[in-house]
Amino acid sequence: MLVSSETTQPLQFSNKTHNKKLYIPSLGLALVLLISLASPASSCTEQEKTSLLQFLIELSWDGGLAASWRNDTDCCKWEGITCRKDRTVANVVLVSKGLAGYISESLGNLTRLQHLNLSHNSLSGPLPPALVFSNSINILDVSFNRLNGILDKLPSSTSARSLQVLNISSNLFAGHLPSTTWKAMEKLVTLNASNNSFTGKMPTHFCSSSPSFAVVELCYNRFTGSIPPEFGSCSKLRILSAGHNHLSGTFPDELFNATSLEYLSFPHNILHGVLDGSRIIKLRNLITLDLGGNSFSGTIPDSIGQLKRLEKLQLNNNIMSGELPSGLGSCTKLITLDFGGNSFSGTIPDSIGQLKRLEQLHLNNNIMSGELPSGLGSCTKLITIDLKSNYFNGELMKVNFSTLSNLRILDLHINNFTGTIPESIYSCSNLIALQLSVNHFRGELSSRIGNLKYLSFFSIADNNITNITNTLHILKQCRNLNTLLIGHNFRGELMPEDDKIDGFQNLQVLGIGGCQLFGEIPLWLSKLENLVMLILSDNNLSGSIPAWIKALSNLFYLDISSNSITGEIPTSLMDMPMMKSEKTKAHLDMKVSELPADATLSLQYRIPIDLYKALDLSNNMLTGKIPMEIGQLKAVLSLNLSFNDLTWQIPESICDLTDLEVLDLSSNHLTGAIPAALNGLHSLSAFNVSNNDLEGPIPSGGQFDTFQNSIFDGNTKLCGTILHRNCSSAKVPQATILTKEEVFAIAFSAFFGVGVLYDQIFLSRFFLRTRR
């Protein structure tokens, strides 16, 4: 008899010899060969080999398994197969092998197979009942495949099922999971059916048939109805998890009899009711309670403090209210506390300082107020503090942030904090995100912020910080800064133009909007090579758009709207590499997951995750024509040139911007016709040419049939059915496609003084077309 561990023994003996490397394998191999030749019983049975080969044959893709699974070798030595001492197959573990096709029923013929793990493949088709109802298999894991079909058709009469662990998660199973399926599984301990498309009620009866039943994971399905009271009779149940379903109703009383529960997780359902203090404390073994994203109401009972094992308490996004109970401070094992998105009020109890293990504190989007308690400084393990969108106030003086050396994210966005930013924050040397925007912080930034070497996201937008020159000189020391949002501060200061502003080598997003800054678009910006997003809107910047702008080769979002910029739109702006190419995928290096959720979205405070390529030059004093080269900005989705003094025609090349969703040319002095081919821009959802001097017919068809007529207002010479103004007049330029001859005819007529402007349009249209 030979076990795999025994075959390695010759290797150990041979360790004592000198020329190991050559000697070991040959001796090992020789011994193995010798033994396997000498003893025929040392190979797996022909029947088991046949069953395995049958499995192999029925696969449509074997991921190279056939190289090892050869008929002329012992199947106990095949890849993924483990045999017992008596050469019967015990385990088949073929994880992440790229297998595709159907799972053969022949595996059910391996009469002593105990552990079958086929997870992380591309297997499809049904799960053979012979495996689920095998008399030998006790661990069956087929998770992360594409198995489908329904399980409620499985027979339920046969006896002596061995199955203990069934993982069918992350497949494409659908239909119901009726109780009858589980009745015969007397030994079932764990069922993991998450991430499928199961419907109907949650399955029950586990515990009446299987007294050891301990784990049920049903999240990411489409279960409906209420939580079955039968779970209350599961005396061994440790994990009950059914988040991301459509479960409704309240917690049944019986559930609180399942006192072994450690993990109770129902996030993202439509459950309601209150957290009854006298009931919840019966679940004294709870380690995780996750009820986020439901409709639970009422307050948090003070008795929650009796759940001494609690590590994770998530009640976020419900409609709970009231003050946080001081009893919470007794849950001293808490690591995660998430109460965000409710209507909790009052202050943070000072007892929070007892939560010495707390790593995550989320109280965002509530109506809490008052000052932060000094106790917070005792939670020295804190990694994330998210208090955004509340009414917290005061000067943050009570908290000694110096003690929070593990802090990585501090989000105080949208509160009523006042005073200067406390110096102690700059001792949190592990901070990666500091979000202080929309408060009433004032004064100059402290140079100590340069200590924050890992700081990647910093926003103090919309406060009352002063001295922008000082601010930028200080922040350039934060070498890892990726996103810097300082807009709506520094009111009326001068945009620093000194070339000593450098560094910022990792900066990708810079927002300095809404400051009423004077000066010009400064040259130092041209050194920020990694910039992808630049917001300078709502200042008093004058001068022209610099030609160096195209040096910002990664820029795909430029907003300089609402300034006093003069001059023409430079053609270099039409050479912005990222805006020209759809292929160069816009990307932010920032690890979004590590940042405050609201470190995302638009403009001053947040960044769009679906990075939107946009050019906004609106509300300035730009003159001249829209460059014909505008057609090069093929990747741009939003183009806003409104509220300027642009003249001439809308270049026909604008119709080349086929991805355009927003095109606003309103309130300029544009003349001529609206290019008819604009109706080919199928993504265009916002279009505005009002208050110009356009004339001729409004294009019809495509998106133009969906627009309201107000977007053409203030152009008395436009016509079309949408305006109830007839286009029959001969003066009106035809927006139809002309032949070469017609174009030339009209072009020549320009020399004779006929409608110069119209001709310009036709000429440019002609030349554009011939250039292609």
Ligand X SMILES: *[C@@H]1O[C@H](CO)[C@@H](O)[C@H](O)[C@H]1NC(C)=O
Q: Which residues bind ligand X (CB under 6 A)?
A: 47, 51, 53-54, 71, 95, 105-106, 109, 117, 119, 139, 141, 143-144, 165, 167, 169-170, 190, 192, 194-195, 215, 217, 220, 232, 239, 241, 253-254, 257, 369, 391, 393, 400, 402-403, 416, 440, 442, 464, 466-467, 469-470, 561-562, 618-619, 640, 642-643, 662, 664, 686
**Is residue 726 a contact partner of residue 719, using CB atoms and an 8 Å limit?**
yes
Nearer to ligand X, 190 or 760 (CB): 190
- The CB-nearest residue to ligand X is 167
What minimum distance in Å lies between the beta carbon of 332 and ligand X? Answer: 20
Nearer to ligand X, 366 or 562 (CB): 562
What minimum distance in Å lies between the beta carbon of 128 and ligand X? Answer: 9
**Is residue 561 a contact partner of residue 662, using CB atoms and an 8 Å limit?**
no
CA distance 439 to 441: 6
Residues near 169 by beta carbon (within 8 Å), at least 6 away in sequence: 143, 144, 192, 193, 194, 195, 196, 217
**Strand 81-83 to strand 89-93: parallel, antiparallel, or no bridges (unpaired)?**
antiparallel
**380 CB burial (10 A radius; 0-12, 13-18, 19+):** middle
Nearer to ligand X, 13 or 391 (CB): 391
What minimum distance in Å lies between the beta carbon of 680 and ligand X? Answer: 20
Nearer to ligand X, 329 or 513 (CB): 513
What minimum distance in Å lies between the beta carbon of 401 and ligand X? Answer: 8
Nearer to ligand X, 322 or 577 (CB): 322
**Is residue 169 a contact partner of residue 193, using CB atoms and an 8 Å limit?**
yes
Nearer to ligand X, 248 or 446 (CB): 446
Nearer to ligand X, 135 or 470 (CB): 470
Nearer to ligand X, 342 or 618 (CB): 618
CA distance 625 to 648: 5
Nearer to ligand X, 183 or 282 (CB): 282
What minimum distance in Å lies between the beta carbon of 54 and ligand X? Answer: 5
Nearer to ligand X, 53 or 565 (CB): 53
Q: Nearest-CA neighbor of 180 among 157, 197, 198, 159?
A: 157
The beta strand positions in 94-180, using DSSP E, are: 100-102, 115-117, 122-125, 139-141, 146-147, 165-167, 174-175
What minimum distance in Å lies between the beta carbon of 227 and ligand X? Answer: 13
What minimum distance in Å lies between the beta carbon of 479 and ligand X? Answer: 20
For the chain, the maximum distance between any two Cα atoms, rounded to a whole number of angstroms, is 108
CA distance 637 to 611: 10
What minimum distance in Å lies between the beta carbon of 223 and ligand X? Answer: 15
What minimum distance in Å lies between the beta carbon of 220 and ligand X? Answer: 5
Kindly report the three-state secondary structure assignment for every residue of 68-101.
Answer: CCCCCCCHHHCCCEEECCCCCEEEEECCCCCCEE
User: What tokens does 324 get?
Assistant: 């946080």
**Strand 197-198 to strand 146-147: parallel, antiparallel, or no bridges (unpaired)?**
unpaired
What minimum distance in Å lies between the beta carbon of 256 and ligand X? Answer: 7
Residues near 262 by beta carbon (within 8 Å), at least 6 away in sequence: 238, 239, 285, 286, 287, 288, 309
Nearer to ligand X, 218 or 328 (CB): 218
What minimum distance in Å lies between the beta carbon of 720 and ligand X? Answer: 21
DSSP 178-238: -HHHHHT-TT--EEE--SSEE-SBPP--HHHH-TT--EEE--SS--BS---GGGGG-TT--
Nearer to ligand X, 132 or 328 (CB): 132
What minimum distance in Å lies between the beta carbon of 120 and ligand X? Answer: 6
Helix (H) or strand (E) segment spanning residue 271:
strand 270-274
Determine how many CB atoms are found less than 10 A away from the CB of residue 157.
8
Nearer to ligand X, 403 or 526 (CB): 403
DSSP state of 568: B
**Is residue 226 a contact partner of residue 202, using CB atoms and an 8 Å limit?**
no
CA distance 115 to 142: 11
Determine how many CB atoms are found less than 10 A away from the CB of residue 29.
12
Reported residue count of the chain is 772
> What is each CA distance from 518 to 286, 416, 497, 563, 569, in whole angstroms?
59, 28, 11, 9, 20
Tokens 């994330």, residue located: 384
What minimum distance in Å lies between the beta carbon of 570 and ligand X? Answer: 20
What minimum distance in Å lies between the beta carbon of 211 and ligand X? Answer: 15
Nearer to ligand X, 538 or 759 (CB): 538
CA distance 771 to 277: 77
What minimum distance in Å lies between the beta carbon of 47 and ligand X? Answer: 6
Nearer to ligand X, 168 or 247 (CB): 168
**326 CB burial (10 A radius; 0-12, 13-18, 19+):** middle
Q: Nearest-CA neighbor of 636 among 619, 609, 618, 654?
A: 654
Nearer to ligand X, 462 or 759 (CB): 462
What minimum distance in Å lies between the beta carbon of 716 and ligand X? Answer: 22
Q: Nearest-CA neighbor of 563 among 591, 544, 582, 546?
A: 544
